[in-house]
Amino acid sequence: MDTGCFSAAQRLSCHAMNPDLLKPCPEHGPPQPAAPRMKPNRNKTEQIKPELAPVVTDPKTGRSYSKGKLLGKGGFARCYEMTDLTSNKMYAVKVIPQSRVSKPHQRDKITNEIELHKTLSHKHVVKFSHHFEDQENIYIFLELCSRKSLAHIWKARHTLTEPEVRYYLRQIISGLKYLHNRGILHRDLKLGNFFINENMELRLGDFGLAAKLETVEMRKKTICGTPNYLAPEVLNRQGHGTESDVWSLGCVMYTLMCGNPPFETLDLKETYKCIKEVRYNLPSNLSPAAQKLISSVLQKAPANRLNLDQILGHEFFTKGFTPDKLPASSCVMVPELHPPSPAKKFFTKMAKSFFGKKKAKAEKIPCDDKDEKDLSRLVSGIVKCSISRQISYKTVGSNEVASPAGQLVSSLPLEPTPAEEESRKSVSRSFKGTMASSAEPCEDGSTPAAVAESAAKVLDTCLSAMPAATRNPPCLSRPEPFLWVTKWVDYSNKYGFGYQLSNHSIGVLFNEGTHFSLCDQRNTIHYCLTNNKHFTFQTSALPEQLHSQKQIVELMANYMEQNLMEGGDLHCEDQASSSPPPLLLQWVKTDHALVMLFNNGTLQVNFYTDHTKVILCKAADGSYLLTFISRERVSCTYLLSMLSEMGCSAELRHRLRYVVQLLQHHADA
């Protein structure tokens, strides 16, 4: 299962070295016995934390922020989702009560964290935005990582496959090298501090214990961090160096692959003893390369450990397959990962050269003829390799149950039982026979090929006439409302492709080619048996043969509602429940984008890397509207004729060229 955007969630460091907090997070295994309290509890009144106001305002700038859900909490601070009421941009905000920084050394700790974090800028480090304080709290605004952390993935999965571990470790090492090159030690590397964004990219965060690298003589001797990941030299008060972070990295690798930290015991003192003696077990099910790498990192003497470059050069990485991207489904289940064929590797390399590190520079200037030719060759290769992710006409099992976390958990085998197969045939017979008289035909020419051809033609015509420009024309102040996909979930490995429209109706295109929609607050059902037969039911009058499909649709709907964020700020008016929603004719996934074609002529393309979206639809008067949703989820709608006359920015022009190439090669595929 792959998904669009998870709802925002992050977590704070558990600061497990605090004697009052020696009950580690889920990633640390069984709870450790709490140490005796160092200080008696203060009165209960002082311990009660005041509830954060629904809206907080920066006293200096006057900008207001709406409080969202609680993302995580620790003994020192809480983290909330907050939305800037001016720009609608969302943040993860660390909220520290002023009462917790009343002493100078406490205030210095927060100040040092802020000053250090605001200097960092790296792809695999959580972005620092800004901070302010009022009389009650200090607010630190950070990048919102919507897929929680590796701790959450580990809790759901318990163990990860070696390709997944390589995928995450490469990103951790990239961020860690950046810190070390700047003379910064993290000192609290653990699963809960590796955050995952919407695009399944890892961000290293929580710099509450970070410190500048000192000489051996000046190294800090403080014991800080999380018990299961502490290096021997830290416990022996020999100080922190980059080698201590490498040790923690080895513990992270072991935990992800083996299901528990290497030195975990039920007794904290015993855990410390095992760490000092480097006493742990390597499971026999680990590959020889993985065992060798872990052993080379978990060395007692810091000087004997591999450094970060040597880790990347180890055979565990050089001889093993590392995926370029993980599906979002890997947050809750084992993904289907296959090493690419030589042809696939070639096209991936081309794609990286075109869309990779130089992308930002390429988007600042219009594409020339050479770009067009390179893009044409690139798209041709990608489409021929990847366009097969379309409707597949096979029948699969249809019963699922939802876990408390909202993910779909299979309760039946992939292949249908004879009874299920007979039930499906019965559904087909009944609707083709007795229900045919109530069917409503689709719009003329609404085949995937026709929609793709029409969209490619109007976009190509627009681009051909478009003059050079450096910016987009003014947005339409009140564009005609239209429906678009705000959330999606790819569960085609078993059932089909689900999506939510901007009027909150839910659709699922099943692998066998049928289409099921829940509309009007789930009170009305639109069912399409073939591409030219529609049926409408009230939920209470749904034929029994469709109950199993309805259950799957509801599970996908609940999953998207609980876990996924809206794809942009573009809303629409609710359509009448009596009219069928737009029918998804086809969806196609390439390495860079998701393409969706609807029977009303709407085309939507979601780009993975920066989460931008291009939506082309018809207005009531027959003209075309083009909507661009930026990476900040801010939308602008234009008349296509206006873009043709006035031109647009290089960023939008570049995406439109890519869409045209995709559609043209889609028609030829």
Domain boundaries, the chain: 2-34+52-142, 150-318, 341-348+367-387+442-483+582-669, 390-438+492-563
CATH architecture of 150-318: Orthogonal Bundle (1.10)
DSSP 285: T
Q: Which conformational region is residue 380 in: left (phi greater than 0), alpha (psi within -120 to 50 degrees), or beta?
A: alpha
HSE-up (13 A, CA, CB side) for residue 24: 25
What pLDDT is recorded for position 228?
82
Yes or no: say if 57 and 31 are a contact pair by the CB < 8 Å rule: no
Please tell me the predicted confidence (pLDDT) of residue 669. Answer: 56
Buried b (16+ CB within 10 A) or exposed e, 526-561: bbbbebebbbbbeeeeebebbebbbebbbbbbebbe
Distance, CA of 439 to CA of 526 (rounded, Å): 11
Check if the beta carbon of residue 565 is closer than 8 Å to that of residue 198.
yes
Establish whether 20 is a catalytic residue. Answer: no
Query: What element of type H or E holds 430?
Result: helix 418-433
Parts of the chain with a pLDDT under 70? 1-50, 214-226, 340-445, 530-532, 571-579, 666-669
Q: Which residues lie below 8 Å from residue 459, measured CB to CB, with a gap of 6+?
A: 616, 640, 656, 659, 660, 663
341-348+367-387+442-483+582-669 CATH: 3.30.1120.30
Catalytic residue among 2, 20, 134, 188: 188
pTM of the model: 0.49
Q: Give pLDDT tens digits for 487-531.
A: 999 888 888 899 999 989 999 998 888 899 999 888 899 988 755
Structure tokens at 535: 């049926």
> One fold for both 341-348+367-387+442-483+582-669 and 390-438+492-563?
yes
Which CATH number fits the domain 2-34+52-142, given the four candidates 3.30.200.20, 3.90.1300.10, 3.90.230.10, 3.40.50.1820? 3.30.200.20
CA-nearest of 658, 592, 604 to 629 is 604
We find that the CATH architecture of domain 390-438+492-563 is: 2-Layer Sandwich (3.30)
Is-contact 178 242, C-beta < 8 A? no
Burial class (CB in 10 A: 0-12, 13-18, 19+), 666: buried
Residue 94 is labelled as binding a ligand:
yes
